[in-house]
Structure 1
């Protein structure tokens, strides 16, 4: 039986003397402040002239990282950037003119330019309000910028400023005078009768007002936001049009998270998110025709398929479903470089449809030129929305073709479409994905990252603008995160492999050049251990799919015939890859477990990133379905191929991994004897809207999906030993989740479970003492439950 975890009966002090197998690692060692591992670069960027590479670094082991630089002409010197240097930085944000001789940007709310030749900056405007998002118009002598929810244009030759839009908060009716009440009218009338001078002044003012109205020209056009918020205000390069979205959002009731250890000594509530289904969101798309001085509200009700009901409604024949246009959520309007054309990406509120629509800039009418539908949900690299990264959409320099990414083939690839004739062309294709495509400065090539070599590798490529042969520009096996120099002649590469954290390399942009390593940050203590390269395997799932995984196999002399299954969090995340994991603590813990004789498997189950649309949506309407059976099938693989005792299998994970652990302990008791569920979702109806509604729809509309996906409904199935660990100030997966589950376990009379609470921790733990306590408990659970120690 699983012994109480409230008092630890042993400590790991360098070696584990309580067991037959030992390790140079310990929980205390690997869970201490990560500074012990060394010093690794992050947030890499180039200086504006390409002379220096800047990055966050911490060789002095200060409280936080500082900014350092390397001059590419003297790459052996790593220099700390002074405060004065940082003040003189030209930010990455802003816009270049066509010749790239001048950059405009906003700094401290002012409008500033930087001359690339003279290397001098100049403040053009210092106003009483903040200036944002400046950009050169097609006429490079004019700069458009945004301020106070409107677009202005500065003519740099004449110095004149023109306000292009007149968008006002509130409503027109709110600006008019209110009619006085009956009581107030009586008081005013009596006052005027009694006081002749006051009455005379009132008559004079009314006569003056009437005269002004009679001679006034037509009033300037104003557009009122009413009770809506302005978003994605964008001006066309020719200055003739602006586009924006109007958002009305009601978030529903927030779930307060009590902070029991507030510095005040009192319990304080932290206002957190609402629950799935609570957020009411409506959006409208507007086009401001500046020459006509009017706003067109764009009608989307005729988009193809906008009223189509989702397939899951067939599971509810007794419910009346209305076929009516769904709300849409627009992205930023993209204008062509000449400013004469525009397209916009529109997404249905249930995220099952996506339209790329052409906007008639004279009438505000739209026409769908690309329509995609997914009965699960639309996402993937470059397709955007919430957890899936940014949106790839824009115009080629010919002002005729647009580019975008789509999962039409099953994998996210780069496409172009001729807006004149509707012809579409895939620039990339195959069973791999494309990330972060960017057009080169000379507008002749694409640069992008892809997984073409292997799902677990990332390499950087160059390809002709209209498609053709790809040139692979990186060669090191792992992850190559590339930042191009401003002139695109060099690549700053942040590279890592399975057992080596990120280091910085410099390479000339080309396939044959040799990279130069610029940093080497591992500490002696960290480097002294022989960190494993886990084997990347695939095993066959019960439905025939080949499931990727990382496998850690102990030496024969250490093997204890027990196995631990690790379930990564985030759901849509990849961990069976060839680079340094963001789960570095867990990676080190798996090395410790393997030293002690455990076989460890880390599975990229259904729903994980990196394997295309079908893998991504494999959990639709049933979380805890194929993503759980993939764990079970992984155990079967270990039993059949690695002589694992089926009575000695444990499972653990955090967040989504904690959720799967609970589903495993409740629904697969014959497979898993012990489990540690960390910061776990226990009832998906209590999680957030943006993530959950994609996968399970909304609770009131699709309750079947929620009941079969939420562990709290299956708690009666617990038979093995369960550890539940949760931070009490978790504003992502609320502590309330495990409180409700614990009450359910109490009412069911379950005995072999324990809960560890962390009063000062949010979703991602911060304190080394919390990490250490949590993983001591996990190791103790596996040792006692699986090895009967």
Structure 2
């Protein structure tokens, strides 16, 4: 009955007339009628304060369109940001002047005709600070920072990238696999290098077969043609060698190869290139059927490889000298531990299970350039280069420089982790101070991500320390200070800080919540994206030369959202029964939760991604879930949302606690959370449900299959049922590969524990999910059928990817989740 009442409330229009308008109309009626109308107004206002599924699962445009891709203008005063258009996915560029910032004006739209003048977020400024260069829609633009005059350097249908200033004042850019140097004074364009993915063939083909050789021997005309061809080739080679206006800039890298990385030095003399085999990692069978298509046919979409199929790969590194046209390989043999058998213990365990004995031996590991933004960086003068390298087994990371004299890699820092190297916290770069080049980098070697500084031939110094994580590094112009984001005050509060080379540590913001930043070009201010638990992101400006609080400069959240009675969760540090660190959790409590006549019902939500933090104090990417939880609280539910072990924000040990056994320690933490709300929130232990999507769907399954006493019901959304079917990059970090560590996959995959299901389970599965395949749900359902389990239901969503898009799908999914909890709790 209660479900029917709430379903009826879903149709309530939030645009109904307000109580103020009703009161105004009542002024001309009799007093008795005024009382009646006033009562009606109060009743309607109460209805408007009811949070409904239809509202919270609607297109999120209703509560505001937050600033995106924000950045400072060249004058360090104007702000630019993108904003989603109302009702469609297109984004507009907005300009926010200082006057508009002070008047609570969200700025003016930058016309399409002028966007090329201002869309310069990732511009590079020359050493004199007079000009900047950037890419807009695949072409190169040059801006005079004093006059603000913009010059279009290229205008082609090919896409340029990697625009940069060279040390001689010229600019350079990349088009495809060709690199060009452009003299801005005389307009000359020089092709510095073209990377050719083919084998270099002899300029003059020599006879190979018996008949060909006889032809050259017996027929003078053929021999004459061969000689003339050889002379022509020799003349071209002599010309290229003796005339510097003629050159062959082609570098042959081999057929069936592809370029992974290619980075030009600032002096334009060298290229660092990494290549790998041009073979697909995915199998032909890695397809995703799409049943709802525009032509009515089933489309077999090509999707990612599964970790069980993904092949091991290696990258080859080269230094290309553009002055003498040489190509020199860089060997990994100089890297410490390059041939260690880091999986020896894992393989021994897996071999022993099969009755075999594993014999460990050294063997070169597959090594590649780490997948990150700018993994190859040159010093400003172009004399030094640093590369971040990683082993394919995910256990070792090397920050290296290149000894050009010996054509070898020099290890500047090695980070090894018996579990896995994090895909975050790998930032690094160069300092150029007092004519010397040195490196800075992040490392988790202390147990938390911290900042280090290292001279090339000296010992590294740790500049930050403590039980908090450092990220998002910006280096000052004078190369003596670092600005960064960190959760120093509290694991769930991220502020902006500064440290110098003398380790002087300063807090630059004190906003609470979640904060991201950009330093202004003149380094006088921070542009901060700030949010709280109940407030979506807005932009703020913080002056660095005063103690004044940051000033809010955008107002994009709707009045309708602000008027809603959202529940701000408490951030609770729940004591763990299994290790020293507490489990930080969001707890949503209804009014009078502790004095209810009967014990409360409760829901536990598990966030996705595994390595993700959701019990922080900023606006969550799970905003629909936040609103859903507020709705549940209005109806008397207690809700808990835990940062179980493996979540982000709590250091290396918390992150790697799931190594080789996903779904074990997390369920232990879930039990601690259940016990906490039973003891502290007056919750009935028999009236607790659980739900979550992606990794949260996986945890819903693992908790219900391996700890059936814990929850009365659960809903698993876009779930992982067998990790062997998930991708390589994420899964192999945590479970190695099925080839090496089948044990880890079997004890971490819910499908192996499906016989443990005893309580009602709802499976919600999108069908065009190219992240967690629909196949995961299909295989699990078949397994449950074969196990003769009957207390489960499945809902499919034919047009939805991993992250649902259509409001109708969101609404249907959460109506089913809500109905499950209402019927079972």
1:388 paired residue number: none
CA deviation map 1:523-557 (0-9, x unaligned): 33322222222111111222133111011112226
Contact 1:380 1:613 survives alignment (8 Å): no
Deviates more, 1:262-271 or 1:424-433: 262-271
SS in structure 1 of the partner of residue 802 of structure 2: coil
Contact 1:41 1:504 survives alignment (8 Å): yes
- How far the C-alpha of 1:124 sits from its partner, in A, is 4.2
Contact 1:152 1:162 survives alignment (8 Å): yes
- How far the C-alpha of 1:301 sits from its partner, in A, is 2.1
- How far the C-alpha of 1:325 sits from its partner, in A, is 1.2
CA distance in 2, matches of 1:697, 1:638: 36
CA deviation map 1:550-602 (0-9, x unaligned): 11112226675222110000111100011111100000111111111111110
Deviates more, 1:367-376 or 1:674-683: 367-376
**Residue 36, structure 1, aligned to residue 62, structure 2:** yes
- Which one of 276, 289, 302 corresponds to residue 271 of structure 1? 302
1:120 paired residue number: 149
CA distance in 1, matches of 2:615, 2:406: 51
Gaps of 5+ in 1: 194-198, 384-390
2:174 paired residue number: 146
- Which one of 611, 618, 626 corresponds to residue 572 of structure 1? 611
2:489 paired residue number: 453
Q: How many residues get paired?
A: 759
- Which one of 334, 344, 353 corresponds to residue 387 of structure 2? 344
CA distance in 2, matches of 1:135, 1:354: 28
1:169 paired residue number: 197
SS in structure 2 of the partner of residue 458 of structure 1: strand
1:432 paired residue number: 468
**TM-score, normalised with respect to structure 2:** 0.86
**Residue 315, structure 1, aligned to residue 310, structure 2:** no
Deviates more, 1:437-446 or 1:591-600: 437-446
SS in structure 1 of the partner of residue 415 of structure 2: strand
Contact 1:32 1:772 survives alignment (8 Å): yes
The alpha-carbon distance between structure 1 residues 236 and 523, as it changes in their structure 2 partners (threshold 3 A), is: closer
CA distance in 2, matches of 1:419, 1:34: 50
CA distance in 2, matches of 1:10, 1:758: 26
- Which one of 713, 717, 722 corresponds to residue 756 of structure 2? 717
Contact 2:192 2:249 survives alignment (8 Å): no
The alpha-carbon distance between structure 1 residues 733 and 61, as it changes in their structure 2 partners (threshold 3 A), is: closer
SS in structure 2 of the partner of residue 645 of structure 1: strand
2:433 paired residue number: 397
CA deviation map 1:194-247 (0-9, x unaligned): xxxxx9986764453244356554575853121221232122223332211112
CA distance in 2, matches of 1:127, 1:273: 32
2:634 paired residue number: 595
CA deviation map 1:365-412 (0-9, x unaligned): 1222311110100116422xxxxxxx3333443533200000011000
CA distance in 2, matches of 1:550, 1:635: 13
1:726 paired residue number: 765
CA distance in 2, matches of 1:693, 1:114: 45
- How far the C-alpha of 1:670 sits from its partner, in A, is 0.9
- How far the C-alpha of 1:511 sits from its partner, in A, is 5.4
- How far the C-alpha of 1:149 sits from its partner, in A, is 1.9
1:196 paired residue number: none
Contact 1:381 1:433 survives alignment (8 Å): no
- How far the C-alpha of 1:747 sits from its partner, in A, is 0.4
**Residue 260, structure 1, aligned to residue 285, structure 2:** no
CA distance in 2, matches of 1:81, 1:142: 30
- Which one of 656, 668, 686 corresponds to residue 695 of structure 2? 656
Contact 1:380 1:412 survives alignment (8 Å): no
Deviates more, 1:453-462 or 1:66-75: 66-75
- Which one of 545, 560, 563 corresponds to residue 528 of structure 1? 563
SS in structure 2 of the partner of residue 172 of structure 1: coil
Q: Aligned runs of 1:663-674 on 2, under 5 Å?
A: 663-674=702-713
**TM-score, normalised with respect to structure 1:** 0.90
The alpha-carbon distance between structure 1 residues 174 and 656, as it changes in their structure 2 partners (threshold 3 A), is: farther
Q: Aligned runs of 1:486-565 on 2, under 5 Å?
A: 486-510=521-545, 512-545=547-580, 546-556=582-592, 560-565=599-604
Deviates more, 1:444-453 or 1:126-135: 126-135
CA distance in 1, matches of 2:111, 2:140: 25
Contact 2:398 2:414 survives alignment (8 Å): yes
Contact 1:356 1:370 survives alignment (8 Å): yes
The alpha-carbon distance between structure 1 residues 562 and 299, as it changes in their structure 2 partners (threshold 3 A), is: same
SS in structure 2 of the partner of residue 719 of structure 1: coil
**Residue 287, structure 1, aligned to residue 319, structure 2:** yes
SS in structure 2 of the partner of residue 592 of structure 1: helix
CA distance in 1, matches of 2:682, 2:407: 67
Deviates more, 1:597-606 or 1:354-363: 354-363
SS in structure 2 of the partner of residue 725 of structure 1: strand
CA distance in 2, matches of 1:179, 1:602: 75
- How far the C-alpha of 1:9 sits from its partner, in A, is 6.4
- How far the C-alpha of 1:333 sits from its partner, in A, is 3.1
Contact 1:676 1:724 survives alignment (8 Å): yes
1:581 paired residue number: 620
**Residue 244, structure 1, aligned to residue 273, structure 2:** yes
CA distance in 1, matches of 2:346, 2:653: 18
CA distance in 1, matches of 2:234, 2:754: 77
CA distance in 2, matches of 1:696, 1:487: 47
Aligned-pair Cα RMSD in Å:
2.9
- How far the C-alpha of 1:509 sits from its partner, in A, is 2.6
**Residue 605, structure 1, aligned to residue 644, structure 2:** yes
CA distance in 1, matches of 2:660, 2:741: 8
SS in structure 2 of the partner of residue 617 of structure 1: helix
CA deviation map 1:61-104 (0-9, x unaligned): 66644322210133223222222232432522342111110112
Deviates more, 1:666-675 or 1:435-444: 435-444
CA deviation map 1:723-748 (0-9, x unaligned): 00010111111111010000000000
2:824 paired residue number: 785
CA distance in 1, matches of 2:702, 2:204: 60
Contact 2:51 2:565 survives alignment (8 Å): no
CA distance in 2, matches of 1:601, 1:647: 16
1:364 paired residue number: 407
- How far the C-alpha of 1:329 sits from its partner, in A, is 1.0
Structure with a larger share of its residues in helix: 2
2:110 paired residue number: 81
- Which one of 6, 9, 14 corresponds to residue 14 of structure 1? 9
Contact 1:342 1:360 survives alignment (8 Å): no
CA deviation map 1:238-266 (0-9, x unaligned): 33322111122540315211111112112
CA distance in 2, matches of 1:475, 1:214: 70
- Which one of 245, 259, 262 corresponds to residue 233 of structure 1? 262
Contact 1:136 1:142 survives alignment (8 Å): yes
1:103 paired residue number: 132
The alpha-carbon distance between structure 1 residues 357 and 203, as it changes in their structure 2 partners (threshold 3 A), is: closer
SS in structure 2 of the partner of residue 691 of structure 1: helix
